[in-house]
């Protein structure tokens, strides 16, 4: 797989085979991703790999938090507080494409809720990664984290795996830190579901659009 294929073929995988991922495969992915660039070579990424019983306990706590109405308390504001165009329309179209792939009608609130809860089940993936950053680090280091996470996703494809980056599981960072024994001085940026894809599942066979180069680029000569 070349770089172009790895990037353009990547998608947010939301259905996985019931097949474990060996630790050495995960280590190989992280060993590749660690060569990502970072300002002054600070390497701000800190990763927690969650599987097995620990993942099961985390899922239980996530779902319990939702069912009891616990308010999300993320370490940072991911989305804008007020949506404007073109981002508002893109967000809407993305959601509609997902529900269409799952064959969930707009009025079916119960199935929509179940679909949202699947985020906290990591879509059935055998493992999840959590990405943390020291609270002392500023915005530049967050850019480094984005490059590192992209490297992880692309390196996973080299190993025959797919993934889904998840801002949703960062809604309850205190819960994650407590269960994993992560100190409070680390912010939780996001999670990443990962595993061998169920390529026959309809949810893995729809794609979101991307704007053409001409729409977001200006040339100066």
Q: In the chain, what are the domain boundaries?
A: 9-209
> Per the CATH hierarchy, to which homologous superfamily does domain 9-209 belong?
NADH Oxidase (3.40.109.10)
Contact 193, 13 (CB under 8 A): yes
Q: How confident is the model over 137-149, as a mean pLDDT?
A: 98
pLDDT the model gives residue 99: 86
Name every residue whose Cβ is closer than 8 Å to that of residue 80 and which is 6 or more positions away in sequence.
87
pLDDT the model gives residue 110: 87
Contact 33, 155 (CB under 8 A): yes
When pLDDT is cut at 50, 70 and 90, the band that residue 82 belongs to is: very high
Going from the C-alpha of 44 to that of each of 33, 41, 147, the distances in angstroms are: 13, 9, 11
Question: Could you tell me the pTM of the whole model?
Answer: 0.95
pLDDT the model gives residue 115: 82
| Helix/strand/coil percentages in the chain, nearest 5 | 50, 15, 35
Residue 44, CA atoms < 13 Å, CB-side half-sphere = 24
- Residues pairing with 215 in the sheet: none
pLDDT the model gives residue 25: 98
When pLDDT is cut at 50, 70 and 90, the band that residue 112 belongs to is: confident
Q: What is the largest CA-CA distance in the chain?
A: 58
- Residues pairing with 127 in the sheet: 51, 194
Task: Identify the residue whose tokens are 């792939």.
Answer: 101
For the record, the structure tokens of 74 come out as 């993320």
For the record, the structure tokens of 118 come out as 């699947």
pLDDT in tens, 170-210: 999 999 999 999 999 999 999 999 999 999 999 999 999 99
Q: Is the pLDDT of residue 49 over 90?
A: yes
Q: What is the 3-state secondary structure (H, E, C) of 84-139?
A: CCCHHHHHHHHHHHHHHHHCCCCCCHHHHHHHHHHHHHHHHCCEEEEEEEECCCCH
């Amino acid at each position: 797989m070349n770089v172009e294929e790895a990037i353009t073929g990547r998608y947010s995988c939301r259905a996985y085979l019931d097949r474990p991922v060996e630790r050495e495969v995960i280590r190989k992915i992280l060993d590749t991703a660690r060569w990502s660039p970072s300002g002054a070579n600070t390497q701000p990424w800190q990763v927690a790999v969650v599987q097995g019983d620990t993942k099961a306990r985390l899922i239980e706590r996530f779902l319990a938090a939702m069912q009891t109405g616990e308010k999300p308390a993320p370490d940072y504001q991911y989305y804008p507080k007020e949506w404007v165009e073109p981002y508002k329309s893109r967000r809407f179209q993305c959601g509609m494409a997902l529900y269409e792939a799952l064959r969930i009608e707009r009025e079916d609130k119960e199935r929509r809720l179940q679909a949202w809860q699947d985020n906290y089940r990591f879509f059935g993936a055998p493992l999840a990664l959590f990405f943390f950053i020291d609270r002392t680090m500023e915005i530049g280091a967050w850019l480094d984290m984005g490059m590192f996470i992209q490297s992880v996703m692309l390196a996973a494809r080299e190993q025959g795996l797919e993934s889904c980056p998840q801002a949703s599981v960062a809604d309850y960072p205190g819960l994650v830190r407590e269960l994993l024994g992560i100190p409070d001085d680390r912010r939780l940026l996001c999670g990443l579901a990962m595993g061998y894809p169920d390529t026959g599942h309809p949810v893995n066979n729809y794609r979101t659009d991307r704007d053409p180069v001409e729409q977001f680029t200006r040339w100066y000569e």
